C-alpha cells in the first residue's frame, strides 16, 4: 500500500485537528466548505430522514451539473471513472447475457457502458434522485442506447421489493455506501441476497478507515472493512475485500459479497 494511501485511511476527517490542518494547507477551499456546510445544515433541518436529505443534496448538486453531482469534476474524469468501473467488472467475468442491477446509477457515468455491452433489457439502474434519473435518460438518448431498453427506476429504499427473486448475476453499487449511514447498508444486506442468483456477486465501494468510524456533513461516511464484512455475514452472506481494486486510481475501497454457499 502506498504511504499516501496508508495515511488517508488512518485520518479522522471529522476531528477538529484535521479540519484545522486541512484549512491551513488549503485556504482556497475554506469558503466553498463553509457554503456547503450551511446548505447541508439547512437541508438536514428540512429533511431529517437520511434518504430524503440526500435526495435534496442530489437535487441541489444536479441543478448545477449532473456530472459533478456524481463526483466527477470534469467530463474527462466522468468518462475515466465510468470506464474504470466497466473494465473492472469485465475483467471479473461480466458477460453480455448476464443481468445487472446498478444501485445508485446516477446519470449513467458507468451505466451507459454497461447498457451498451449487455443484452437488451439486462441493465437495471435505480437511484433515489429523480433529478439525476432525468439526466440518466438524457445520457441514454445522447448515446443512442434506446434500443437496449434499460430499466431506470426511482427508489426510496434498498429493500428491492419490486424486483424478482434470484434475478441478477451482478449487483453493483459505486460510491453509494460512502454516502450511507450503517442502517441503510444493513437494509441492503438484509435484502440483496434474495435478488442475487446463487452464483452471482454484489460489488460495492466504500470510504475505508482503519481508525475510528466517522462521518462528515452526513454526506461522507467512513467504515472499517471488518465492520462491513461482519454485517454482511450477519445476514447470511460472505464478504471479502477486493485487493485488486486498490490498483486503480480511485480513493475508495471495494468489497465483494456472495451467497455463503457460493
Q: How far is residue 104 from each of residues 172, 221, 262, measured CA to CA in Å?
A: 9, 16, 26
Could you write out the DSSP letters of every residue in the chain?
--HHHHHHTT--TTSHHHHHHHHHH-GGGHHHHHHHHHHHHHHHHH--SHHHHHHHHHHHHHHH-HHHHTT-SSHHHHHHHHHHHHHHHHHTT--TTS-EEEET-TTTTTHHHHHHHSPTT-EEEEES-HHHHHHHHHHHHHTT-GGG--EEEE-SSS--TTS-TT-EEEEEESSSGGG--HHHHHHHHHHHHHHEEEEEEEEEEEEE-SS--EEETTTEEEE-HHHHHHHHHHTTEEEEE-GGGGGSS-SSEEEEEEETT-
Residue position matching grid coordinates 486503480: 248
Q: For the domain with range 3-259, which CATH number is right: 3.40.50.150, 3.40.50.2300, 3.40.50.300, 3.30.450.40?
A: 3.40.50.150
pLDDT (tens digit, 9 = 90+) per residue, 65-74? Answer: 887 767 677 8
| C-alpha to C-alpha distance for 98 and 120, rounded to whole angstroms | 10
- Rounded to 5 degrees, what are φ and ψ at 213? -70, 140
For the chain, 262 residues long, give each residue's pLDDT as a single digit of tens. Answer: 333 454 477 676 666 566 556 567 767 767 777 887 888 888 888 888 888 888 888 888 888 788 776 767 788 988 999 999 999 999 999 999 999 999 999 999 999 999 999 999 999 999 999 999 999 999 999 999 999 999 999 999 999 999 999 999 999 999 999 999 999 999 999 999 999 999 999 999 999 999 999 998 778 999 999 999 999 999 999 999 999 998 888 889 999 999 997 6
Per-domain residue ranges of the chain: 3-259
Residue position matching grid coordinates 455506501: 177
Say if residue 60 is exposed, middle or buried (CB neighbours under 10 Å; 0-12, 13-18, 19+): middle
Amino acid at each position: 500500500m502506498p504511504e499516501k494511501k496508508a495515511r488517508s485511511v488512518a485520518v479522522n476527517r471529522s476531528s477538529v485537528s484535521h479540519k484545522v490542518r486541512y484549512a491551513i494547507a488549503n485556504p482556497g477551499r475554506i469558503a466553498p466548505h463553509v457554503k456547503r456546510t450551511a446548505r447541508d445544515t439547512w437541508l438536514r433541518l428540512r429533511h431529517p430522514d437520511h434518504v430524503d436529505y440526500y435526495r435534496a443534496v442530489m437535487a441541489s448538486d444536479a441543478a448545477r451539473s449532473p456530472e459533478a453531482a456524481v463526483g466527477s469534476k470534469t467530463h474527462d474524469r466522468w468518462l475515466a471513472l465510468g470506464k474504470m468501473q466497466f473494465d473492472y467488472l469485465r475483467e471479473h467475468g461480466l458477460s453480455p447475457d448476464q443481468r445487472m442491477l446498478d444501485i445508485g446509477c446516477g446519470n449513467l457515468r458507468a451505466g451507459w457502458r454497461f447498457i451498451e455491452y449487455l443484452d437488451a433489457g439486462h441493465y437495471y439502474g435505480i437511484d433515489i434522485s429523480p433529478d439525476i434519473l432525468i439526466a440518466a435518460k438524457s445520457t441514454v438518448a445522447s448515446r443512442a442506447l434506446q434500443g437496449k431498453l434499460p430499466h431506470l427506476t426511482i427508489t426510496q429504499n434498498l429493500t428491492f421489493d419490486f424486483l424478482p427473486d434470484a434475478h441478477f448475476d451482478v449487483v453493483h453499487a459505486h460510491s453509494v455506501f460512502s454516502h450511507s449511514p450503517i442502517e441503510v447498508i444493513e437494509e441492503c444486506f438484509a435484502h440483496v441476497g434474495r435478488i442475487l442468483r446463487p452464483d452471482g456477486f454484489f460489488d460495492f465501494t466504500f470510504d475505508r478507515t482503519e481508525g475510528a468510524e466517522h462521518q462528515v456533513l452526513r454526506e461522507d461516511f467512513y467504515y472499517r472493512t471488518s465492520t462491513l464484512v461482519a454485517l454482511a455475514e450477519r445476514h447470511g452472506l460472505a464478504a471479502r475485500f477486493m485487493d485488486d481494486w486498490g490498483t486503480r486510481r480511485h480513493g475508495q475501497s471495494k468489497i465483494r459479497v456472495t451467497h455463503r454457499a457460493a
